[in-house]
């Protein structure tokens, strides 16, 4: 198995209110994308491709390990992942048979989660996502914000990344996705192509950094010497 991770890092981070792309915002002195790449490599991924805003290639190259490949992302996450997938066909690099897609916005994903995703694919699953239970009461509201129904939460799950795929499954699914169609994650693209998506246990420490409070919480998970409480 040769597993390559595509890290989607081409977002702007406007909701974080940062003066730079979110993936370059520091957490305990290191950009979010560096934490995310470390977790993937520690979890068993062989190679990492990072999709970045085209105007920021140099800034990313300055902080990422030399072995990490940097490619221009797109205007949407879907376009960025497409660009990362296209880079996998570069004959200068060993051919991947497994692809993980991860958000740079999840800097503290424990390597155990990465290993669980890889193990599920190695065991034959075509697609797998890490998930967590829903702990809050969950409701449906109408257009005015009034509660119209409660949703039984037992079968609900929150989906995280990294999401793992047999490479041919992910490539076929993206090839079949109409140009311009935007789905929020890669498992949705694969499911739209009719492929079963399995689940493994996610981790609260994989939380996504979206608003400033999320960055504060992530900072609390890292001790002063840079050790992650994983
Ligand atoms: O905006 P959001 O936090 O949902 O983005 C999820 C991930 O997708 C982030 O890591 C972000 O950098 C990435 N992204 C991307 N290309 C875009 C938009 C978002 O790679 N055009």
Rounded (5°) CA angle 27-161-165: 140
Q: Could you tell me the CA-to-CA distances from 104 to 47, 115, 122, 223 in Å, in that order?
A: 15, 18, 24, 20
Q: pLDDT value at position 230?
A: 57
Residue to probe by mutation, ligand 1, list 54, 55, 77, most atoms within 8 Å of CB: 77
Q: What are 82-105's pLDDT values in tens digits?
A: 999 999 999 988 899 999 999 999
Instruction: Give me 7's structure tokens.
Output: 């890290």
Cα of 196 from ligand 1 centre, angstroms: 25
Q: How high is the pLDDT of residue 57? A: 97
Alpha carbon of 14 to ligand 1 centroid (Å): 11
Q: What are the structural domain ranges in the chain?
A: 3-220
| Alpha carbon 125 to chain centroid, angstroms | 18
CATH number of 3-220: 3.90.550.10
Q: Return the DSSP state at 27.
A: E
Which of 5, 6, 11 has the most ligand 1 atoms within 8 A of CB, as the residue to mutate? 11
Ligand 1, pocket-test mutation among 7, 8, 22, 159, most atoms within 8 A of CB: 8
Residues 1-16: what's their mean pLDDT?
93
Report whether the peptide linkage leading into residue 162 is cis, meaning its omega lies within 30 degrees of zero.
Answer: yes
**Gap from CA of 103 to ligand 1 centroid (Å):** 7
Distances from the Cα of 200 to the Cα of 114, 163, 213, angstroms: 10, 10, 27
Backbone angles phi, psi at 7, to 5 degrees: -105, 115
Query: What distance in angstroms lies between residue 147's CA and the mean position of ligand 1's atoms?
Result: 31
Average pLDDT over residues 57-83: 96
Return d(Cα 124, Cα 74) in angstroms, integer: 31
Which residue's CA is minimally distant from atom 11 of ligand 1?
A: 11
Q: Has this prediction a pTM greater than 0.85?
A: yes
Q: Are 51 and 73 in contact (CB under 8 A)?
A: yes
């Amino acid at each position: 198995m040769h597993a390559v991770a595509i890290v989607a890092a081409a977002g702007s981070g406007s909701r974080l209110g940062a003066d730079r792309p979110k993936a370059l915002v520091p957490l305990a002195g290191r950009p979010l994308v560096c934490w995310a790449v470390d977790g993937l490599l520690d979890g068993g991924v062989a190679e990492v491709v990072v999709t970045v805003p085209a105007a920021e290639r140099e800034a990313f190259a300055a902080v990422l390990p030399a072995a990490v490949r940097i490619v221009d992302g797109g205007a949407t996450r879907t376009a960025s992942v497409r660009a990362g997938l296209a880079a996998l066909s570069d004959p200068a690099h060993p051919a991947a048979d497994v692809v993980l897609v991860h958000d740079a916005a999840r800097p503290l994903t424990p390597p155990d989660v990465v290993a669980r995703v890889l193990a599920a694919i190695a065991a034959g699953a075509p697609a797998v996502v890490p998930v967590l239970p829903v702990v809050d009461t969950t409701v449906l509201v109408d257009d005015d914000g009034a509660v119209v129904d409660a949703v039984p939460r037992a079968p609900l799950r929150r989906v995280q990344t990294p999401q793992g795929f047999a490479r041919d499954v992910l490539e076929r699914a993206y090839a079949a996705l109409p140009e311009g169609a935007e789905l929020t994650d890669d498992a949705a693209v694969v499911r739209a192509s009719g492929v079963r998506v399995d689940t493994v246990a996610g981790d609260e420490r994989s939380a996504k950094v979206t608003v400033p409070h999320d960055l504060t919480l992530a900072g609390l998970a890292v001790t002063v010497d840079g050790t992650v409480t994983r």
